[in-house]
Homo-oligomer: A and B are copies of this chain.
Amino acid sequence: MSDLVLHNYFRSSTSHRVRIALEMKGLIYRYVAHHLRHGEHLEPGYLSVNPQGLVPALVLGDGTLLTQSLAIIEYLDESEPEPPLLPKGAVGRARVRMLAQMIACDIHPVNNLRVLTSLRTVFGAGDQDVANWFRHWVNEGFGPLEKLLAGSQETGTFCHGEAPGLADICLAAQVTSNTRFSVDMSPYPTISRIHAACMALPAFQKAAPQNQIDAE
């Protein structure tokens, strides 16, 4: 795969996921930064690339637009099979997708920048309200996630066995995002252990928000 362009924001958790997958696959890409807090993703130039005006968006060499982090990551996994980000069997794949979506569908969407901004503008939420909201939905999701991980023999060094994959990507990006709202991680020893295992890997280090060109 060549001439990949990733429309991106260093702090966006969904952008972070895609960067980890690109690094794990060893793919080179051009990093185009859009500063979400300055509204750069809503400028006409970017809306003509991605009408949803969200990051991440991956543009392939032939101009094909791919959005939605999980769809992009599964595309990368199908196009560049090594190292695999999903196990081989259907039940294992369902488990990894389930763990990933517990974060990607139930935690992150309720806590992303545009929703937190709406809480402020529509309901007059202040900093403390926003932080409480963020932590509430993390805890609602991480409680059962911890239980499912700690209670399954499928869990290994990573969410599913001894190699990192799709669920670990979502877990690592979410735990990183949590630090901005001082989420107490002490109730989540398994999640914390897996996060540490991820962060020991070069791909996860390279993809981390603070190591991007637009980091503040």
- Which residues of A pack against B, CB within 8 Å? 50-54, 60, 64, 66-68, 70-72, 74-75, 78-79, 90-91, 93-95, 97-98, 100-102, 104-106, 108-110, 114-115, 118-119, 122-125, 129, 132-133, 136, 140-141, 143-144, 147-148
- Chain B contacts for A51, CB-based, 8 A: 143-144, 147-148
Which of B68, B79, B91, B140 sits near A64, CB closer than 8 Å?
A: B91
| Alpha-carbon separation in the docked complex, A101 to B115 (Å) | 17
Closest beta carbon of chain B to A132's beta carbon, Å: 8
User: How distant is A174 from chain B, measured CB to nearest CB, in Å?
Assistant: 14
Q: What residues of chain B lie closer than 8 Å to A100, measured between beta carbons? A: 71
B53 contacts A74, CB within 8 Å?
A: no
B122→A115 contact, CB < 8 A: no
Q: A129: which B residues are within 8 A, CB to CB?
A: 122-123
Tell me if A's interface is mostly helix, strand, loop or mixed.
helix
16 examples of A-B residue contacts, CB within 8 angstroms: A51-B143, A51-B144, A51-B147, A52-B144, A66-B94, A66-B95, A66-B98, A67-B98, A68-B98, A71-B97, A72-B98, A74-B94, A75-B90, A105-B109, A118-B133, A119-B123
A75 partner residues in chain B, CB cutoff 8 A: 90-91, 93-94, 97
The interface residues of chain B lying within 8 Å CB-to-CB of A60 are 91
CB distance from A149 to the nearest CB of B (A): 11
**Is the Cβ of B119 less than 8 Å from the Cβ of A115?**
no
Q: Measured between alpha carbons, how far is A176 from B129 in the docked complex, in Å? A: 32
Chain B residues in 8 Å Cβ range of A68: 97-98, 101-102, 105
CB pair A53 B93 closer than 8 Å: no
A61-B66 Cα distance, complex, nearest whole Å? 36
Residue of B nearest to A91 (CB): B64
What's the minimum C-beta distance from A93 to chain B, rounded to whole angstroms?
A: 7
Complex Cα–Cα for A78 and B104 (A): 21
Q: Is the CB of A105 within 8 A of B104?
A: yes
Cβ A74 vs Cβ B97 within 8 A: yes
> Which of A97, A108, A124 has the most chain B CB atoms closer than 10 A to its own CB?
A97
